[in-house]
Amino acid sequence: MNILVIDIGGSHVKLHATGQPAPRRFESGRHLTPESMVEEVKRRTHDWPYEVVSVGYPGLVGPDGPEVEPGNLGPGWVRFDFAAALDRPTRVVNDAAMQALGAYTGGRMLFLGLGTGLGSALVTDRVVIPLELGSLPYGRRRTVADHVGRGGLKQHGEARWLETVVRVVEHVRDALKADYVVLGGGNAKRVKPLPPHTRRGGNEDAFAGGFRVWEEDVDPHSYPPAAPWRVVR
């Protein structure tokens, strides 16, 4: 089964599909509505065959799709019918959860996405649990995302930002009893050296996660049969 993966970000929408040699992308930003995104996706993938679609969405996702509007894109995402617009069966998941799914290699893994804010998810026993660790209080009238997101980097400088990132990684890893941490997002490359039991992820993890969302449908006759991945909503 050919799968199209759409990874929606604040600056770019990234696209990949089963059997294609390289991903494609186009700019997003505050002008991007779901209608304009779908139109551009169709234009950019007209020569790609695919039967189903995975969408990584930068915000809260429930059983019926996006539950809040993203702060860095255009309006209209809540209650948007992706399956009807794309004319394919479509599964929408939080973007951090999708990247975490692709980065997972076993055990209990904590994913932290260092970007505009802080994306987070926990993966264990083929279950993906999206988290909102960025909303936790940190300091006076601030949150974790305020300190380790892009705003905190700009306000406090890289050295102090890095100290905070390392502290947050260690605290939440211990609190959730994670075996290891994967750092993703655009600012993960700034974390040097990496904290103990931590590795750096990449954009390829989001695509791998998008393919894994449909894994149980791709090869239902595999032996031993794989339990389906489950994204908690």
d(CA 97, CA 209): 8
Q: Specify the domain boundaries for CATH 3.30.420.40 within the chain.
A: 3-95+206-218, 98-201
Give the CA angle between residues 110, 128, 48 to the nearest 5°. Answer: 110
Instruction: List the alpha helices (DSSP H) in the chain.
Output: 34-44, 82-86, 95-103, 144-148, 150-156, 158-175, 203-212, 215-218
Tell me the C-alpha distance between 43 and 33, whole Å: 15
Contact criterion met (CB below 8 Å) for 55 and 93: yes
* pTM for the predicted model, two decimal places: 0.86
- What pLDDT score does 140 carry? 84
State in words which class domain 3-95+206-218 has.
alpha beta
Regions in the chain scoring below 70 on pLDDT: 216-229, 233
* pLDDT for position 233: 67
How is 96-147 classified by DSSP, letter by letter? HHHHHHHH--SSEEEEEEESSSEEEEEEETTEEEEE-GGGSB-STT-BHHHH
Task: For the chain, give the longest Cα–Cα distance.
Answer: 54
CATH class of residue range 98-201: alpha beta
